[in-house]
Amino acid sequence: MVFNWFRRQYNDSSDKTSKETSKPEAEKEQKEQAEDKVESQAKSTEESGQTTEDYLSWAKAAYKNLQEKKKNDSQESQIATETSDVEEKPESQTPSTETKSEPIISDTLPIIEHIAAEKPEPTETDTLVKPVPIVEETPSSQTKPTEEETQVKPDSILEETQTSEQLPFWAKAQAERQARVERLKETAIEEPEPETLEKTTVETELEEIDPLILDEAFLWSAEILAAQGRRPDQVSVEEISWLTKLRKGLDRTRRNLLNQLRAIVGQGPLNQDAVMEIESMLLQADVGVEATDLVIETLQNKLREEVLPPEEAIAYLKSILRDILDQPFKDAETISPAYNLTFVPEKDTLNIWLVNGVNGAGKTTTIGKIAHLATKSNYRCLIAAADTFRAAAVEQLKIWGQRSEVEVIANAGKNTDPAAVVFDAIVAAQVRNTELLLVDTAGRLQNKKNLMDELSKIHRIVQKKAPDAVVESLLVLDATLGQNGLRQAEVFAKAAKLSGVVLTKLDGTAKGGVALAVVKQLGLPIRFIGVGESLEDLRPFSSYEFVEALLSG
Ligand SMILES: Nc1nc2c(ncn2[C@@H]2O[C@H](COP(=O)(O)OP(=O)(O)OP(=O)(O)O)[C@@H](O)[C@H]2O)c(=O)[nH]1
């Protein structure tokens, strides 16, 4: 069974939902599922104090499963290596490799520069394919908090000087979590010391991508997955790794928010003065005026009804933020177009995703990362290099095509018509039964009118050549630009009939709150988020995971 990285589930019959069920019915079903999910998530968060033991055993079981899987995988790869030494290498099943030996479109479309995906060079590419570990690598550092952690997590200092009754609630929660990590360590490793710990530095490549370290990050990631109804046997190393990256990527934003929030709610039940302080805290995190106003108004309304103790105040704040992030789906019947709750390419159908954004926002990188998710999830994927205004853009895209092992359709000529590239790419996609065609569009034109004209032309070509395709239009936004990025976004929103946003570079900024501004001001859902430069550093957006990563101590 293949794991669908867009759906974050193993493929099942629901992949056929959109074909077998009518669209409104499928959307209704999706909506109900998502609402149930959000409700259960909120509940499990609030009740986390009561379910500590459950989470602990869940994490233990997940850890054990992952260790076993790792062991099996390494045994399998050992057998495969031994077999491949004596046997001829079998032909690859990937569409890209098939086209290498059979350049289908080159006869009919001679202008297309046909770039068959090649195996990446083992140097730079290799390091990109293998994500940089987020957790500390040396086993000895697994239990010790880094200097940075010690700074932001005062609990370890507090612990020594105060009894648990004197601790503020977040410090208690952290101390509790640390204690759980210790208990987990004592009981989870039911096997002898993992082999990897014995290995020398020459063999550390595997360890470098190994998030299987029983630390606080593992426990947090496990809790997040458990709270979303996942079973311990359904969890993969990559998912733990992603959540760890997400949380680490949001470190800067979280540190600022949490430090202030702790100071505010630490003063006692939330009152109107505290709400004002929350307002300035949100504005500083680039949450934007509109979203901040909404948060404050909702908090004030709640305060009129009841006093909120600190813990409940934070839980309530989290639920408000999640509601804002999920709003585009709820607006479906009224203001916004009906956005699909999940952003999953339909199997056995041509899905065309037009990727827009200014140069430097991370468009090329995003296309490469989505292509990687697609191939991992067993979709036949193709990339169209329609940003023909910058020769380097095409070259960069080819490199990302190689990394993700997806073919890139480009036109060799300079300043060629982007719409012609899209035309060629659609023909190629139809010939090959491609399921996901990712189109890189121009990042910058001389003026807004040119940009609008060009994007409209691309839309027209798509409609004409592939009337049955499922078309989505994504805007890639650089989170480090904060509010400034929103101005660019507004131009594209008018020109490109956007259906979602990809927020990149959340790892390099304290302005992660801009995600809320994007949703509130543009009315668009966030579809993917990027938290780093490597192939694995982009995943579908989850409001639950994002808010937990933003506000969990
Ligand atoms: N830290 C970090 N860097 C990122 C992320 N996404 C992209 N980048 C970096 O941002 C820079 C620009 O990314 P590109 O993908 O080349 O951006 P582009 O929008 O295609 O821009 P052009 O290449 O100029 O057309 C590169 O150095 C990327 O590695 C991210 O999520 N985190």
Specify the pairing of strand 3-4 against strand 9-10. Answer: antiparallel
* Helix intervals (H) in 435-510: 448-465, 483-496
Handedness of CA 97, 100, 103, 106 (dihedral sign): positive
Average pLDDT of the chain?
73
Average pLDDT on 195-200 reads: 32
Taking the complete model, does pTM exceed 0.80, yes or no?
no
Tens of pLDDT along 86-107? 554 444 333 333 333 333 333 3
Among 523, 517, 515, 507, smallest CA distance to 541 is for 515
Tens of pLDDT along 234-267? 888 888 999 999 999 898 889 888 888 888 877 7
According to the annotation, is 364 in a ligand binding site? Answer: yes
Q: Please state the three-class secondary structure of 165-183 as a single string.
A: HHCCHHHHHHHHHHHHHHH
pLDDT at res. 175: 67
Are 178 and 157 a contacting pair, CB within 8 Å?
no
Handedness of CA 247, 250, 255, 258 (dihedral sign): negative
139 pLDDT band, cuts 50/70/90, is very low
Mutate which of 387, 533, 536, 539 for ligand 1? The one with the most ligand atoms within 8 Å of its CB, which is 533
Within 8 A by CB and 6+ apart from 192, the residues are: none
According to the annotation, is 362 in a ligand binding site? Answer: yes
Q: What percent of the chain has pLDDT over 90?
A: 32
Residue with structure tokens 């916004």?
Answer: 336
- What is residue 349's DSSP assignment? S
Average pLDDT on 271-298 reads: 90
Token digits of residue 241: 């790794």
Tens of pLDDT along 148-171? 333 323 233 223 334 445 555 556
Answer whether residue 162 is part of any domain. Answer: no
Within 8 A by CB and 6+ apart from 551, the residues are: 254, 257, 258, 261, 314, 317, 318, 321
Average pLDDT on 31-58 reads: 54
Answer whether residue 209 is part of any domain. Answer: no
Strand partners, 410: 113
- Atom 29 of ligand 1, nearest CA residue: 533
pLDDT at res. 85: 57
According to the annotation, is 424 in a ligand binding site? Answer: no
Dihedral pair phi/psi, residue 544, rounded to 5°: -65, -50
Residue 513 CA, ligand 1 centroid: distance in Å: 20
Tens of pLDDT along 384-415? 999 887 778 889 999 999 999 999 999 876 66
The answer to whether the CB of 480 is under 6 A from ligand 1 is no
Provide the CA 52 distance to its chain's centre, in angstroms.
Answer: 27
According to the annotation, is 505 in a ligand binding site? Answer: yes
ipTM strictly over 0.85? yes
Residue 8 CA, ligand 1 centroid: distance in Å: 24
Overall residue count recorded for the chain in this entry: 553
According to the annotation, is 360 in a ligand binding site? Answer: yes
pLDDT at res. 293: 93
Tens of pLDDT along 310-359? 788 889 999 999 999 999 887 655 555 667 777 899 999 999 999 998 88
pLDDT at res. 65: 81
Mutate which of 364, 440, 474, 481 for ligand 1? The one with the most ligand atoms within 8 Å of its CB, which is 364
> In this model, does residue 364 exceed pLDDT 70?
yes
Answer whether residue 288 is part of any domain. Answer: no
Number of domains in the chain: 1
> In this model, does residue 67 exceed pLDDT 90?
no
The answer to whether the CB of 361 is under 6 A from ligand 1 is yes
pLDDT at res. 370: 98
**Cα distances (angstroms) measured from residue 106 to each of 111, 112, 114, 425:** 8, 7, 7, 12
pLDDT at res. 13: 44
Specify the pairing of strand 351-356 against strand 470-478. Answer: parallel
The answer to whether the CB of 360 is under 6 A from ligand 1 is yes
- SS3 for 441? coil
Average pLDDT on 173-184 reads: 62
Burial 78-98 (b: 16+ CB within 10 A, else e): eeeeeeeeeeeeeeeebbbbb
Answer whether residue 137 is part of any domain. Answer: no
pLDDT at res. 145: 34
Residue 458 CA, ligand 1 centroid: distance in Å: 23
Q: For residue 1, with 0-12 CB atoms within 10 Å meaning exposed, 13-18 middle and 19 or more buried, which class applies?
A: exposed
Answer whether residue 411 is part of any domain. Answer: yes
The answer to whether the CB of 250 is under 6 A from ligand 1 is no
Within 8 A by CB and 6+ apart from 32, the residues are: none
Answer whether residue 434 is part of any domain. Answer: yes
The answer to whether the CB of 327 is under 6 A from ligand 1 is no
Burial 291-317 (b: 16+ CB within 10 A, else e): bbebbbebbeebbeeeebebbbbbbbb
490 pLDDT band, cuts 50/70/90, is confident
Residue 223 CA, ligand 1 centroid: distance in Å: 31
**Cα distances (angstroms) measured from residue 379 to each of 373, 431, 502:** 9, 15, 20
pLDDT at res. 92: 38
Residue 186 CA, ligand 1 centroid: distance in Å: 42
**Cα distances (angstroms) measured from residue 505 to each of 283, 368, 387, 410, 510:** 19, 15, 21, 27, 11
Give me the domain span that covers residue 422: 351-542
82 pLDDT band, cuts 50/70/90, is low
The answer to whether the CB of 287 is under 6 A from ligand 1 is no
- Atom of ligand 1 at shortest range from CA of 397: 20
What's the rounded Cα separation, in Å, for the pair 283 and 517?
A: 10
Within 8 A by CB and 6+ apart from 395, the residues are: none
- Atom 17 of ligand 1, nearest CA residue: 362
Answer whether residue 187 is part of any domain. Answer: no
Among 304, 253, 305, 306, smallest CA distance to 281 is for 253
What CATH number has the domain bearing residue 410?
A: 3.40.50.300
- The strand order across the sheet containing 500-504 reads 112-115, 407-411, 381-385, 436-440, 351-356, 470-478, 500-504, 526-530, 538-540
Tens of pLDDT along 268-282? 677 878 888 899 999
The answer to whether the CB of 488 is under 6 A from ligand 1 is no
> In this model, does residue 220 exceed pLDDT 60?
yes
The answer to whether the CB of 530 is under 6 A from ligand 1 is yes
Are 356 and 475 a contacting pair, CB within 8 Å?
yes
Strand partners, 385: 440
The answer to whether the CB of 388 is under 6 A from ligand 1 is no
Lowest mean pLDDT among 277-291, 319-333, 438-452: 438-452
pLDDT at res. 484: 85
According to the annotation, is 351 in a ligand binding site? Answer: no
Residue 364 CA, ligand 1 centroid: distance in Å: 7
* Helix intervals (H) in 405-553: 418-432, 448-465, 483-496, 514-522, 543-551
Lowest mean pLDDT among 40-44, 150-154, 322-326, 494-498: 150-154
Answer whether residue 8 is part of any domain. Answer: no
- Atom of ligand 1 at shortest range from CA of 476: 19
> In this model, does residue 16 exceed pLDDT 50?
no
Mutate which of 363, 365, 509 for ligand 1? The one with the most ligand atoms within 8 Å of its CB, which is 365
The answer to whether the CB of 503 is under 6 A from ligand 1 is no
> In this model, does residue 439 exceed pLDDT 80?
yes
- Atom 26 of ligand 1, nearest CA residue: 362
> In this model, does residue 305 exceed pLDDT 60?
yes
User: Which residue type does 381 have?
Assistant: C
